[in-house]
Copies of this chain bind each other. A is one copy, B any other.
Amino acid sequence: MERIPNILAERYASPEMQQIWSPSGKVVLERECWLAVMIAQRDLGLDIPDEAIQAYERVKEQVDLDSIREREATTRHDVKARIEEFCALAGHEHIHKGMTSRDLTENVEQLQVLRSLQIVQSKSIAVLIAFAREAEKYKDLVITARTHNVAAQPTTLGKRLAMWGEELVLAVQHLETLVAHYPVRGLKGPVGTQLDQLSLFEGDATKVDELEAKLVEHLGFPEALRNVGQVYPRSMDFEVVSSLYQVGSGPSNFARTLRLMAGHELASEGFAKGQTGSSAMPHKMNSRSCERINGFHVILRGHVNMAAGLAGDLWNEGDVSCSVVRRVMLPDAFFAIDGLLETSLVVLGQMEAFPAAIARENAYYQPFLSTTTILMEAVKAGAGREGAHEAIKEHALATVHDLRSGLIVDNDLLERLAGDERLGLNREQIGTILGDAEPLTGDAKRQVEAFGARVAEWSAKYPDAAKVEPGEIL
């Protein structure tokens, strides 16, 4: 039977993310977990020979999935099969003492989650850095801001990029708190009371506390849960997956508007090195990557929904109705956000703006967007407010009508206004008023700078983020 690959992993996720969730990667994590427990148990007085520990250490990375599968066919118990395999490789039987299956699997899955979150954190900050870089690059490029998809007021492309970037900052903050406090379930036994480890240490609760503390530290968790049942609360998965969706929101807004801008030929997501447009249709720089970013976000929304379906649905101390869901949702959600962030990095790295087309659009709309200023200046210059307002309204409506019906091609509103004595401004005066478009972008430049400064702080705090290089995307 041909094996069907996980599409999200294979096509879109980075090698390091795949590694965490690969079958053999998980086996290694489990073995790390067993080793951590075993070492701590030895340190706390259990009779476990050093040579056994060394033997396990030595074979830790020898993963033979087929052999494990064969053992499972016999034992009909997946964890048991993996215990036997590891012991057979090491030639000892000292792992899994006082542990129940969930003492292994919950902690290992949380480890997968934590390490994946750290990748997402680093990559999100890399995207932030890219947003800041592009925002800085385009901070003076005046574009026509739109509301309701219709021209509204000038802004700059840099400011627009900073807007999406700042949205991502909020998600990165959430992620940071999440990672900093993400508590692991620990060794709590089948129903959460730590009975089995307590028995192992003959009722010595202090030793059990120490054992767990050592494990938690060894695995790199910031803290441990205290009151759990068989499993850690599934609302934790919900917060994790929700935070991924939140991370994807800024980039998704970026991608969506870049698709809109491409439709107006104001910008493009660019081409990968070596890629060219179709010869027949060279204008068709399809925003495939941006569309994919939006697609990943829809997938993640489905995962949020799956995670939500588990939260609050626990029976007693736990059951496994969540099992199949988490097997699918957790890796896939991380593959999807990984793909989303990789793709965002690529697009931010190769996007292009077309200043000439942007200028053309600005020129088309500027007269409409300037009428408030012209009215103000006309009044200052002595015109009656009512008459001036009436004049502007008449000319604006007429201009729109003529543009839409094809009577004119260029927006000649300013000429019309200059010719109306109710305003008392000549073409030159109007030109002077509008001469410098830059002030009409308000505080955009300082806003971009503030964003840049903020990102610089994140970049300094997480120096690895700046080094993230996206893989090639399809």
Bitwise, A432-472 to B at CB < 8 A (1) or not (0) is: 00000001111110111011001000000000000000000
A387: interface (CB < 8 Å): no
The residue on B at minimum CB distance from A183 is B170
Interchain residue pairs with CB less than 8 A apart (11): A8-B328, A11-B327, A145-B191, A150-B283, A194-B442, A234-B249, A238-B249, A260-B260, A295-B325, A299-B328, A302-B309
Chain B residues with Cβ under 8 A from A159's Cβ?
192-193, 227
Bitwise, A142-176 to B at CB < 8 A (1) or not (0) is: 00011111111111000110110111001101100
- Check B324–A296 contact: CB distance below 8 A: yes
- Check B203–A439 contact: CB distance below 8 A: yes
Please judge, given known A-B contacts A190-B153, A308-B304, whether A396 and B314 are in contact too, CB under 8 Å: no
Stretch in A82-90, A368-376, A418-426 with 4+ CB within 8 Å of B: A368-376
Bitwise, A1-23 to B at CB < 8 A (1) or not (0) is: 11111111111100100100111
- Check A191–B153 contact: CB distance below 8 A: yes
- Check A149–B316 contact: CB distance below 8 A: yes
Contact of A146 among B153, B171, B263, B297 (CB under 8 A): B263
Please judge, given known A-B contacts A151-B283, A235-B250, A328-B7, whether A354 and B312 are in contact too, CB under 8 Å: no
Stretch in A38-46, A109-117, A121-129, A284-292 with 4+ CB within 8 Å of B: A284-292
- Check A409–B189 contact: CB distance below 8 A: no
Q: How many copies does the complex hold?
A: 4
Please judge, given known A-B contacts A260-B315, A321-B291, whether A3 and B3 are in contact too, CB under 8 Å: yes
A304–B148 alpha-carbon span in the complex (Å): 25
A256: interface (CB < 8 Å): yes
A454–B226 alpha-carbon span in the complex (Å): 11
- Check B233–A451 contact: CB distance below 8 A: no
Chain B residues with Cβ under 8 A from A235's Cβ?
167, 170-171, 245-246, 249-250
Which label, helix, strand, loop or mixed, suits the secondary structure of the A interface?
helix
- Check A249–B233 contact: CB distance below 8 A: yes
- Check B318–A295 contact: CB distance below 8 A: no
A249–B170 alpha-carbon span in the complex (Å): 24
Closest 6 CB pairs of A and B: A356-B406, A252-B312, A193-B442, A195-B442, A235-B249, A279-B393
Given A279-B389, A360-B406, 19 more pairs with CB closer than 8 A: A147-B191, A148-B284, A149-B259, A150-B286, A152-B230, A152-B281, A159-B192, A170-B236, A249-B312, A256-B313, A256-B315, A277-B400, A279-B392, A279-B397, A280-B375, A295-B323, A299-B306, A302-B305, A356-B406
A297 to chain B, nearest CB (A): 5
Chain B residues with Cβ under 8 A from A167's Cβ?
233, 235
A293 to chain B, nearest CB (A): 8
A1 to chain B, nearest CB (A): 6
Chain A, range 51-104, C-beta contacts under 8 Å to B = 76
Contact of A12 among B195, B308, B324 (CB under 8 A): B324
Chain B residues with Cβ under 8 A from A249's Cβ?
233-235, 238, 311-312
Please judge, given known A-B contacts A252-B313, A313-B256, A321-B295, whether A205 and B443 are in contact too, CB under 8 Å: yes
- Check A239–B170 contact: CB distance below 8 A: yes
The residue on B at minimum CB distance from A369 is B281
A192–B448 alpha-carbon span in the complex (Å): 12
A153 to chain B, nearest CB (A): 4
Chain B residues with Cβ under 8 A from A196's Cβ?
442
A193–B190 alpha-carbon span in the complex (Å): 41
